[in-house]
Structure 1
């Protein structure tokens, strides 16, 4: 028997191995994934800052450009998913394309980015809740971590149950966020903005003004989590149809929503005045614009929706991180108990509990360090965005390699290969510029910048080293890396 045959035999599933279960359709899956991008948070926080630090009035085009690049990756991702029906997300796809060593490094990075996303949105949710209590209801200004602890309990409970339940919760909250954005957009359109609707954002001079690199970085972050449509493969109806439709729908909706809202926000103040406004106070610029164009009630609701948006994003990030942990456990990389499937909920309940405990352990040092409230979310989200960009590059490189190696005689893979290759080239340039501007993206300075960069690449390197060790000393574990079979989950408990 050859070594490759031995590795293949090592991953043969047994009949009694359990799988996750669910009944999500296209809409539920789209809303679950879109909730992670937190539209209300993006509007109130990301868009004004992107305008201030990025390419100014040309920001809507930058967002559209990011959508096109992510769509190019999605073309290859969905094509690859047809011949690689695994629920491992980036971890599985990078392993299949670039090898198990790089794949395990990517798997570690994937858990970390959604783990960091959880912590950042817990902090944001706690700060938003404190603001509501103090400003709206004129209550005491309690520490943000008290409210974050309440959110932590709720997310932990929801994460324990079947994904369908969380999907319904996310659908409700995301629906409210979209209602706010649509109301704002329509109001600005009907009133014609401050000085009439201008197309300055689409002028070449505006597009290349300011820092295009920073604008692109903010834009890429808005599409985070789009690959989660693949992670939920075992928990949706007819995944062969649901996943491609949901993936394209998520990318298209995010591209239209954020670029349109950014363009209308710019026109709400006027292209000549908006830069001064967002530079003075980005967050106040968004809320004040909502108040002016949609009224006092919408302004109050925006404050509340900042909390619900942070909660929805946290719940989605928790679900993503949980499933990456589940997949790594199913492959025997993490402790085997994390791949246990609940006997009635068909949920990764053990992995969910582990992510909750790990998040709590991460939040405690943040609280004890007394990091200023205004910087907690920004720094953590910057680390997430940078690492997500790194993973996008790896998967964009993995897709053409896999498709060329596994091309069928009657199948043309030219379009997805070219699309992924173009995306990879653009993303590599973006990663270089992001590294150069890392301090601006994360808000970190001096030694902390170096520490964060070493931590990000160190996690990837740790996964690669571990894979190399498994290859030499435990080949049966090495063979499992990348979810080679969707039936590698643990047994019921």
Structure 2
């Protein structure tokens, strides 16, 4: 689930080329390694805290128990906005890519939103079933993505117009003026990092498997992306990769493979690019559903969201996420198609409307929110172990969380500072401030709502962030079912 959310083929085809194009630097491969190191340091305290907390709300529960319930609720609303933004934003790119591919191969021109609406149904159906069904589907798709990218890497090294150059691995390429921008664009490739803890309640042995999955995923993602970004620079040529990325963007990989292999292989990779987006959609959908389940169980939002299907999946949260996606997609479709909004905004580039608005706006907003959440969670680790001393090292409980928290906070500030660049804007406009403002507003509203709950319902307030502990809402019902199943009176 963690790797599916990061969408390997999408990152290599789209994220790597975008980073090269926007930063104008060869330091992109080392940028992935540096982010992986930062997240590994973050994971030291994060996974240690996870041994004491198993909650589908993950970051929300961690912040609530480490920094206090008001900040926890604030973080939970940031998570809902961020994960929904990431998920719905990806729909824009998915619809555009699928529509464009079908038109290129068959001549049939179809609105991008038609395929998105169909995809929402499929994602929703998988979302209300057991998580292992989604895992099997996504596991297959992710495995095929890795095969496709590895094939591309092999062809790149075989082509190597300037030889097997290590120019992109020179530290001076990273540690220069473009360092901050490289990290800002690279961190989006690791979104979904929290997923391991989100599925803790559904794992057979979360105390062991969640830390293992978290470390394995960040190491695999970091090394794989760094190696593939280096391969990209070798295949195109270090002196040409920036200009080629600026000219062709995400199509560069597929154009390269068509020229060096065959149209069939390029088409297969294009299809896998689309399924890569689908895998990410499913992973983020599941994350939103489980957040709503956790919040509903504890009464932060309606208790109806705590309902699960016979298979154990949080169906109420899943349906709610599908409805949110449907409403937003319809809104963008009406703005872009029905009223000629795309032509008015982008002129000849109107066909890119779902990519330039829905995908770009929402995914960058989501990435900003998740980086903020990770920073809060890092500091929450320090607060948690200060209140609950454990036989763990100072490195685990203080130094590593503090270091990663400061670095992630700096990265969040860098994202806000470079937001116009991330949106492809020459000059700031309303969206420059409105979109990140949604993250800040969600956090403030959450804090205020927690204070209201403290005044109106102290008992409910006391359960915030403690949904799986004895006596919490929903736990007693689970216990009763368990007793009945073994035949006790």
The question of whether the paired residues in 1 share the 8 Å contact of 2:294 and 2:467 is answered with: no
- The answer to whether the 8 Å contact 1:33/1:250 transfers is yes
Give TM-score scaled by structure 2 length: 0.90
Counterpart-to-counterpart distance in 1, 2:6 and 2:448: 32
Q: Which aligned pairs between 1:100-111 and structure 2 lie closer than 5 A?
A: 100-111=69-80
**Structure 1, unaligned stretches of length 5 or more?**
1-31
Residue number in structure 2 paired with 1:381: 363
Contact residue 55 and residue 212 of structure 1 kept, 8 A: no
1:89 to 52, 58, 65: 58
C-alpha distance in structure 2 between counterparts of 1:477 and 1:441, whole Å: 40
2:395 corresponds in structure 1 to 414
Kept in 1: contact 2:141–2:275 (CA 8 A): yes
Pairwise CA distance, 1:264: 0.5
Q: Which runs of 4+ in 1 moved over 3 A?
A: 292-295, 486-493
- Matched residues in 2 for 1:172 and 1:88: separation? 26
Q: Does the 8 Å contact 2:297/2:467 carry over to 1?
A: no
* Structure 1 residue 293, shift from structure 2 partner: 4.2
1:173 and 2:155 aligned: no
Match of 2:112 in 1: 144
Does the CA contact (< 8 Å) of 1:318 and 1:355 recur in 2? yes
Cα distance in 1 for residues equivalent to 2:102 and 2:466: 46
Q: Equivalents in 1 of 2:242, 2:23: separation in Å?
A: 11
Q: Is the 8 A contact 1:55 1:215 kept in 2?
A: no
Partner of 1:435: 416
Q: 1:485 to 1:52 in 2, by over 3 A?
A: same
78-87 vs 464-473, greater mean Cα deviation? 78-87
Instruction: Name the structure 2 match of 1:64.
Output: 33
Does the 8 A contact of 2:24 with 2:242 survive in 1? no
Residue by residue, what CA displacement relative to the aligned partner does 1:84-119 show, whole Å, maximum 9, x if unpaired? 233321001111111110110100111111111121
Q: How does 1:26-425 map to 2 (within 5 A)?
A: 32-54=1-23, 56-136=25-105, 138-189=106-157, 191=158, 193-209=160-176, 211-342=178-309, 344-370=310-336, 371=342, 372-375=353-356, 376-408=358-390, 410-425=391-406
1:426 corresponds to which residue?
407
Per the alignment, do residues 286 and 192 of structure 1 end up closer, same or farther by CA in structure 2, a change over 3 Å counting? closer
Tell me what 1:7 maps to.
none
Match of 1:466 among 424, 449, 464: 449
Change (3 A) 1:177 1:270: same
Does the CA contact (< 8 Å) of 2:94 and 2:274 recur in 1? yes
Distance in structure 1 (CA, Å) of the matches to 2:319 and 2:306: 12
Corresponding residue for 1:17? Answer: none
Cα offset, 1:68, TM superposition: 0.6
The RMSD of aligned alpha carbons is 1.8
Structure 2: state its 5+ residue gaps: 337-341, 343-352, 482-489
Are 1:217 and 1:385, in contact at CA under 8 Å, matched by a contact in 2?
no
Number of aligned residue pairs:
458
What is the Cα deviation at residue 453 of structure 1? Answer: 2.5
Contact in 2 for aligned 1:183/1:294 (Cα 8 Å): no
CA contact (8 A) 2:88 2:329 kept: yes
